[in-house]
Structure 1
Amino acid sequence: MAPGECVNSTPWHDLSMQDAQLHQPPTRPYRWWLWLVASQLVVAWVWWRLGWQIGLPFMVATHLPFWWGVLWPYSRMYGPVLSRLPGDAPRVWLTIDDGPSADTRTLLDMLDAHDAKATFFLVAERAAARPDLVKEIVLRGHDIGNHSNRHPQAWFWALGPRRMRDEISSAQTTLTDLAGRAPRWFRAVVGMSNPFVQAPLRDLNLARVAWSARGFDGVGRSADAVMSRLKPSLSPGAIVLLHEGGADGRHIEVMRRVLEILEDRGLRAELP
């Protein structure tokens, strides 16, 4: 092997560039404050000059982009987010949220059978209760991601800076201890990322990941309903959002069908 090359003959500097394109932790987590202050100064001027009848609706309108940045999973208003792999290589990134669970070993066996790799975005409290599964995920060549400490899905979007930092930092500490290496990727709970997510991500060198293929398998839909929505999106570069831990076993059935479709379409499930 020639110096400066890796096993797939891609120069190391090209790999570094590819990784830098994908893995982008926030660098300016407080930049949104400038936009907020500037917009409200304009609101104050409009209110003063034109009265509350115009100033009030104008103030509401200036807040809408900030709400959009919280509620839209792909919004880059508060910081970078990866929602698709670049290029047209025949590969996808399988991401599995909410584990570990009773499904984990079965999912691992299915992935092994198809020579597929995935990133498991783990909830730290659940991981601490099943440390053997975290170790098995890593030993089988898969990756783990940070999916919060307690998975507060009803109010994650509304957490303040202190509680948000605790959710992310505590999870990072727990998962690092269990896996023997620090997660590099973070997925916001329910995909919603408020302004206070960015500072802990920067400090922990975490990059936020969304998705481009989603079948809503986490909300009780049948495998048929999930696949009818998911199947058209399974294309080169897709980041596929899946879940584990459902009581009815539908997540296992969805994974089985996804892996079969990927195989039929000549798509490899790889880690980024």
Structure 2
Amino acid sequence: MDVPHRPPRHPHAWLPLLLLSQLLVAWAWWRWGWPLGLPLMLASHGICLWGVLAPNVALYGPVLSRLPTADRSVWLTIDDGPSDDTAAILDLLDAHGAKATFFLVGERAAARPGLVREIVARGHGIGNHSLTHPQARFWALGPRRMRAEIEGGQQALATITGTAPRWFRAVVGHANPFVSAPLHEAGLARVGWSARGFDALDGDVERVLGKIERDLAPGAIVLLHEGAAHGRNPGMIAQLLQRLDARGYRTVLPDP
């Protein structure tokens, strides 16, 4: 499927906008005092934080959250591997004639290169999901560490497969101002999602699948995980594939 691939074109565009907003806040504070200046300052900071924490917000660069199609097709994306679940998930996908993109963590990929090559050999996609998956602090990484996470993940996966990934999934979906520059330089486009069940945390299969099904629609990007502590990710994916088949959905991968 032909999907717009949009790496950030102007990775530092946020900086003049931020400076301008704070100059306006300072002017309003000087002109009308704190009763207006303080709320404006809090609002401007809130908008900046919203762009960091909200997964599909494009404040710091483009993010793809659904496919441009009216067909009953979805893009399955599987985060956090490779893991002990990867082989079982590949067999499930094969059994249903389904395809998915695996957003892999660089260090985990380097530890299990055979699984990474098997993903590619079976016709699935590979995406960059950072080098070390620092989920508690990815949102607050500075420019040097952010670059190391993105470039390190890219290098690890390219070394194993011979091809650099084209898609990036931010850890926990967070993206601060320092994400765009390394994505621009690596030619990576950021991918969000439009359907999720919180399967990385919730081990209740019916509850997880119910949340995903509520958001299923033509062009949905479905967020899934592997290797969760509850150990039920393969079972969840098995049932999701059955339900997709029953509802007439097919899985697609973005070109190429």
TM-score for both structures, normalised by structure 2: 0.96
Spell out, residue by residue over 1:132-187, the C-alpha distance to the aligned partner (whole angstroms, 9 max, x if none).
Answer: 00000000000110000000000000001111000000110001001111100000
Aligned residues of 1:98 and 1:122 also touching (Cα < 8 A): yes
The residue that corresponds to 2:116 in the other structure is 134
The residue that corresponds to 1:45 in the other structure is 27
The residue that corresponds to 1:162 in the other structure is 144
- Aligned-pair CA distance for 1:68: 0.9
Answering whether residue 133 of structure 2 is matched by residue 145 of structure 1, we say no
The residue that corresponds to 2:84 in the other structure is 102
Which of 216, 237, 241 in structure 2 is aligned with 1:255? 237
- Aligned-pair CA distance for 1:35: 1.2
- In structure 1, what is the Cα distance between the partners aligned to 2:179 and 2:230? 33
Which of 185, 192, 210 in structure 1 is aligned with 2:167? 185
- In structure 2, what is the Cα distance between the partners aligned to 1:86 and 1:196? 28
- In structure 1, what is the Cα distance between the partners aligned to 2:230 and 2:20? 50
Consecutive unaligned residues in structure 2, runs of 5 or more: none
Consecutive unaligned residues in structure 1, runs of 5 or more: 1-14
- In structure 1, what is the Cα distance between the partners aligned to 2:146 and 2:230? 32
- Where 1:105 maps in the other structure, the secondary structure is helix
Spell out, residue by residue over 1:178-224, the C-alpha distance to the aligned partner (whole angstroms, 9 max, x if none).
Answer: 11111000000000111100010000000000001100001133112
1:34-113 to structure 2, matched below 5 A, reads 34-113=16-95
Spell out, residue by residue over 1:50-85, the C-alpha distance to the aligned partner (whole angstroms, 9 max, x if none).
Answer: 223432222111221111111111111111000000
In the superposition, relative to structure 1, how do residues 147 and 50 fare at CA in structure 2: closer, same or farther (>3 Å)?
Answer: same
Tell me the amino acid that sits aligned with residue 52 of structure 1.
W
Tell me the amino acid that sits aligned with residue 127 of structure 1.
A
Identify, as 1 or 2, the structure richer in helix.
1
Of the structure 1 ranges 238-247 and 149-158, higher mean CA displacement relative to structure 2 is found in 238-247
Aligned residues of 1:234 and 1:262 also touching (Cα < 8 A): no
Answering whether residue 227 of structure 2 is matched by residue 245 of structure 1, we say yes
Aligned residues of 1:145 and 1:184 also touching (Cα < 8 A): yes
Tell me the amino acid that sits aligned with residue 163 of structure 1.
R
The residue that corresponds to 1:6 in the other structure is none
- In structure 1, what is the Cα distance between the partners aligned to 2:189 and 2:153? 15
Instruction: Please provide the CA RMSD for this pair.
Output: 1.2
- In structure 2, what is the Cα distance between the partners aligned to 1:35 and 1:67? 14
Percent of residue pairs identical: 60
- In structure 1, what is the Cα distance between the partners aligned to 2:177 and 2:107? 24
Provide runs of 4+ in structure 1 moved above 3 Å.
none
Tell me the amino acid that sits aligned with residue 67 of structure 2.
L
- In structure 2, what is the Cα distance between the partners aligned to 1:190 and 1:105? 24
- Aligned-pair CA distance for 1:234: 2.4
Aligned residues of 2:201 and 2:228 also touching (Cα < 8 A): no
Of the structure 1 ranges 86-95 and 153-162, higher mean CA displacement relative to structure 2 is found in 86-95
- In structure 2, what is the Cα distance between the partners aligned to 1:160 and 1:231? 37
- Aligned-pair CA distance for 1:39: 0.8
The residue that corresponds to 2:179 in the other structure is 197
